[in-house]
Structure 1
Amino acid sequence: MMDAFSVAVLILLVAVAAGLDPSQCIAPLGMESGSIKDSDIAASSSFDNKNVGPQHGRMRMELNGGAWCPQTPATAELKEWLEIDFHTVHMITGSGTQGRFGNGQGAEFAEAYMLEYWRPSLSKWIRYRNHLGEEVIKGNINTYLESKSLLDPPIIANKVRFLPYSYHKRTVCMRVELYGCRWTDGIVSYSMPQGDKRGANWEFYDNAYDGHWDGEKLKHGLGQLTDGKVAPDDFKVPFYEQSVQGWVGWKNDTRENKPIEITFEFDRVREFTAVHIYCNNQFTKDVQVFSTATVLFSVGGKRYKGEPITFDYIEDRIFESPRNVSIKLHHRVGRFVKLQVQFAARWMLLSEVTFDSTVVNGNITEEEELPEETNLQKDQIATPGMDSKNIISAVNTPSGLGQYLGIVVGFLAVIIVLILVVVVFIYIQNRRYKSSPRPSQVPGGCDKAALYREPPDPEYAVPLQQPHTSRPPPNVQNFFPKAPPIPPPPERYYAATEICNTGFVPPPPPLSTPPPVRLSRQPRYVTSARTYIGP
């Protein structure tokens, strides 16, 4: 038959099926099974460490003395404690205690006790209080029956202490067990402004917050936004039924229309795929879902690097039921996440914020802190109309589109640069070709005016004249290797006088030209028959 504790846990889990897994968060955490080692159990003192030391304070175990018994009796002034170290953060939804049965010889049990817990983001041990603000938890009435208690809100911690309590001085012994599951969300703290009051009696405070409150802002703790419980549809119900989880809310009039900023710190660097925000939308009572949400990421927490993700919510003035607004985060990486939500009406009420994330393995370098004037995202407030923002609408695009678009843009940019380089190179070569003189095949020591082309009439020499025409620009195909052209037939030149003495040999005269007269030879003899040239 199911006891009252199990019924209460099931009722809680039905209400928050989206936040807690029933198959995980009601499981015993290892005191009875032995998965919690003796070295992970400590105590302030023991009456006899060998027989009733802290290692014997396990539920339903009868080793040696059969329980943990402190050295001094329990009173209203808490002095003794039994500590359990999980080493990792757990969500603890219930606790159980027994007295010392001692095989029928024991007579000691704790009528009441308190709990304290420790978490890495906390600088001290925190006394547990339930949603009614009560610290004392009901204990045992005998030495053998277990007394279970539902923890509402649950404890999120990696160390827990049992402190025996009594209104009158008495000897106590305890065997204990804790119930819950491992805290997989990875959130160790969140910081934000404390909620506001509505009217004289309605307070939308985060009453479950266990961190520091400086009068305005909550720092380094956890509370109602991460306890796995959602508030009822009507925000008025918790003010009449104290057992019901309430809303955390802010008033736009006191915020000068600035967004509410919530900073989440995680245990390790994580890759985020989505965030889910449970919001109230009773618009007939001046309460609406936020109009815009901006999400920023940081590894070290000092500088939020990269473009923020911005989500614009479509206003709903038809249905007043609360809703879970989901925002895709597109695998962004960080250990700190800053969430900025902008008012859409006079009031904004939130109940739960959860993240879908996985731990990133490997070393990731923290962002370097920039000077104040260049640190644009440090304590940045989202401004409507920002140019540098990653806008996410209600219909989200595929997560990989941005990556493919970046590759295509980069490839096109490289092609454009190459084309520009080729065009500039061609232009420069063309300018150089036009400005340079035409190369001559005649040696430099020759007077070009003295060169003559072979005339058609052998008795005349025609000066060599070249028409002055501009040369056409080189063809683009000349820049690529090709077969050498067939050389044109060589032109024949000769000089009228010996003006070239630098190796230039003029071509021989044509065969029809008579040989020159030799002055050293004998004179000619002329006859009537034919001309004879003597030897």
Structure 2
Amino acid sequence: MKVLLLAVMVLLVTAADGIEPSQCIAPMGMETGAIKDEDITASSSFEHGNVGPHHGRLRNELDGGAWCPQSAATPDLKEWIQIDLHTVHMITATETQGRFGNGKGMEFAEAYVLEYWRPRLLNKWIRYRNRTGAEVLKGNINTYLESKTVLDPPIWASKIKFLPLSHHERTVCMRVEIYGCRWTDGIVSYSMPQGDKRGTSWEFYDTSYDGHWDGEKLQYGLGQLTDGRVAPDDFKATFYQTNSQQGWVGWKNDTRKNKPIEIVFEFDKVREFTAVHIYSNNQFTKDVQVFSQARVLFSVGGKRYKGEPITFDYIEDRIWETPRNVSIRLHHRVGRFVKVQLQFAARWLMISEVTFDSSVVNGNFTEEEEEEQEEQSSQKDEIAAAGADNKNVVSAVNTPSGLGQYLGVIVGVLSVLVVLMVAVVVFVVIQQRRYKSSPRPSQVPGGCDKAALYREPSMGRLPGSSDYADVRDPEYAVPLQPPQTPRAPPPLHNFLPKPPPVPPPPERYYAATEICNSGFVPPPPPLSTPPPVRLSRQPRYVSNTRTYVGP
């Protein structure tokens, strides 16, 4: 049954609710006009009216029929045409054309380079590189055929530039289009430690990360964890056909000293989160397992993470090695920064994708204040004494106030009072223990015959009865002892509270005293009852009609 449940769990693993690049392929509006003319700018134009940037739309034949820069294209990449999308979009492909101009054009770009910009990305333009590390993209071979290039990895940007490139100086013109969709996941960047190397040939790095890479730390960028592509089941298999890059980002427990892997995600706005999905590897036969525990924390400002973290414990699976999408419910927590901490379960931890289910929350949210360590420093007042010829600076020492002068005396008096109170309590406890352990005299009054306090109960015998012939008179006595009265405690000092008064002896005490003074005469035994009269049975005669009882 356990194996069946695990199999169902693995088979029912569904893809995260993130954007799938294969479905984000729609043209974004250069050809249709959805992108307005004012959102298209350029470094220069040969003639703005005929070949300005607003004419650089794919399959456009109006006026000059393309955008043509003022200077020729060179390897220096001086000229560019820019498209402003205003919000972050996922751009999955680009397409270019030369200037046909109703058969009069002869200019086209054989190659070009892309640069993009988005908020929180180091506040600068980033040069695009594909998974092989190449920057130069293939352009056109003539003025009328389109050339479409799929971007792998995709670009997350709110602005994008096309920079025509030529290895020799030549005049170029371009018509462009971009494909993609709006980035609704809202992730602006994530920061985490860079992956580790396994052996001599397997580097589990986030090679497509476009942020700042400072040796062991990745900051302010996006990469493989958000590209929408899951890695292969076997981390040793080649996932991308065009190169040997891997889809897994992996960390080694030996280099982390058993500390959790911490990933901080930054979003565009404050959001309400319902779930996070982490695509993880579980090849336990190769020392790779899903994380044993995940902790998720939330923050509005990113400086302090308040509130109770959400903790998720994963049940170890050492039966199926299939990678799985681990989903963690986030219970509608709110924040703009999300910190995910993953604890090692084996020697290696590998993940491929992280996606969130979230929605934008409208309202006023205050960022958490950063804890500041206040340093106490003594301040001195400087008094400047002005003289006729020179000026002297005098440092004045603050004198303590009246309360400060007597603070030591007050503390000393309070300490003495506390010591005295402790001594009094100890003395009272010792006296009470001595009183309880001292012997007590008998409570029977003097001169009283103790034998008179006993009486022998008698049991009457039925005379003439054979049933009680073998019963003997018991020989025992029942003592009648009055209750003991406690001895009065020894007197204490006048300043201590007096003990409660001793209650008077009970009534049985007086009864015993009267018995001793007047002489006790035991009561006579009870009279025996006469034996019951037995009637002899009479013979009975039966006739035909009546029954007679004889005398």
Scaled by the length of structure 1, what TM-score is found?
0.65
> Matched residue of 2:38: which SS?
helix
Distance between the aligned counterparts of 1:17 and 1:252, measured in 2?
27
Partner of 1:227: 227
Determine helix, strand or coil for the equivalent of 1:348.
strand
Matched, 1:321 2:308: no
Confirm whether residue 57 of structure 1 aligns to residue 67 of structure 2.
Answer: no
Q: CA 1:136/1:245 → structure 2, altered by over 3 Å: closer, same or farther?
A: same
Give, as a single letter, the amino acid of the residue that structure 2 aligns with 1:214: D
Identity, % of aligned positions = 79
For residues 425-436 of structure 1, what are the structure 2 equivalents within 5 Å?
none
Q: Per-residue deviation at 1:17?
A: 8.7
CA distance in 2 between counterparts of 1:21 and 1:369 reads 38
The aligned residue for residue 357 of structure 1 is: 358
Q: Tell me the distance in 2 between the aligned counterparts of 1:238 and 1:23.
A: 20
Aligned partners of 2:259, 2:110: CA distance in 1, in Å?
A: 50
Paired position in structure 2 for 1:127: 127
Alpha-carbon distance in 2 for matches of 1:24, 1:239 = 20
- CA 1:152 to 1:336, structure 2 compared with 1: closer, same or farther past 3 Å? same
Q: Is the 8 A contact 2:16 2:355 kept in 1?
A: no
Deviates more, 1:166-175 or 1:286-295: 166-175
Distance in 2 of aligned mates of 1:75 and 1:57: 19
Q: Does 1:163 align with 2:202?
A: no
Aligned to 1:274: 275
Once residues 239 and 275 of structure 2 are traced to their aligned partners in structure 1, the CA distance between those partners, rounded to angstroms, is: 32
Q: Which amino acid aligns with 1:194?
A: Q
Separation in structure 1 between the aligned mates of residue 197 and residue 23 of structure 2, nearest angstrom:
36
Deviations 1:467-518 (A, max 9, x none): xxxxxxxxxxxxxxxxxxxxxxxxxxxxxxxxxxxxxxxxxxxxxxxxxxxx
**C-alpha distance in structure 2 between counterparts of 1:289 and 1:198, whole Å:** 18
On the 8 A contact 1:229/1:245 being kept in 2, the answer is no
Q: Which amino acid aligns with 1:27?
A: A
Whole-Å separation in 2 of the counterparts to 1:257 and 1:103:
67
- Alpha-carbon shift at residue 371 of structure 1 (Å): 3.9
Contact 1:231 1:244 in 2 (8 A): no
Mapping 1:252-331, distance limit 5 Å:
252-331=253-332
Which residue identity does 1:342 align to in structure 2? Q
Query: 2:72 corresponds to which residue?
Result: 73
- Give the aligned partner of residue 436 of structure 1: none
In the TM superposition, residue 87 of structure 1 has moved relative to its aligned partner by 0.1
Matches within 5 A, 1:31-430: 31-122=30-121, 123-238=123-238, 242=243, 245-371=246-372
Q: Distance in 2 between matches of 1:365 and 1:358?
A: 19
Give SS of 2:238's match: helix
Distance 1:76 1:16, change over 3 A: farther
The structure-2 alpha-carbon separation of the partners of 1:18 and 1:234, relative to structure 1 and needing over 3 Å to count, comes to farther
Q: Which amino acid aligns with 1:57?
A: G
Contact persistence 1:230–1:245 (CA under 8 A): no
How far the C-alpha of 1:168 sits from its partner, in A, is: 1.6
Q: Is the 8 A contact 1:281 1:289 kept in 2?
A: yes
Q: Given the superposition, is the C-alpha separation of residues 258 and 306 from structure 1 closer, same or farther in structure 2, using an over 3 Å criterion?
A: same
- Is the partner of 1:190 in helix, strand or coil? strand
Q: CA deviation at 1:215?
A: 1.1
Cα pair 2:18 2:356 within 8 Å, conserved? no
Equivalent residues of 2:82, 2:159 under 8 A apart: yes
Letter of the 1:330 counterpart: H
- 8 Å Cα contact 2:20-2:228 kept in structure 1: no
Deviation at 1:255, TM superposition (A): 0.2
Question: Matches of 2:235 and 2:42 in 1, distance apart?
Answer: 43
- Inter-partner Cα distance in structure 2 for 1:19 and 1:337: 16
Instruction: For residue 369 of structure 1, report the CA deviation from its aligned partner.
Output: 2.0
Counting matched residue pairs gives 359
Aligned AA (1:180): G
Look up the SS of the partner of 1:237 in the other structure: coil
Structure showing greater Rg: 2
SS at match of 2:332: strand
Contact 1:19 1:229 in 2 (8 A): no
**CA distance in 2 between partners of 1:253 and 1:23 (Å):** 37
Compute the TM-score of the two structures, normalised by the length of structure 2: 0.63
Whole-Å separation in 2 of the counterparts to 1:243 and 1:136: 19
Deviations along 1:144-178, one digit per CA (max 9) or x if unpaired, are 11110000000000000001011221111000000
Report if aligned partners of 2:288, 2:346 keep a CA contact under 8 Å in 1.
yes
Answer whether contact 2:57 2:66 (CA < 8 A) is retained: yes
**Whole-Å separation in 1 of the counterparts to 2:371 and 2:59:** 58
The alpha carbon displacement at 1:372 in A equals 5.6
The question of whether the paired residues in 1 share the 8 Å contact of 2:17 and 2:356 is answered with: no
Query: Which amino acid is 1:187 matched to?
Result: I
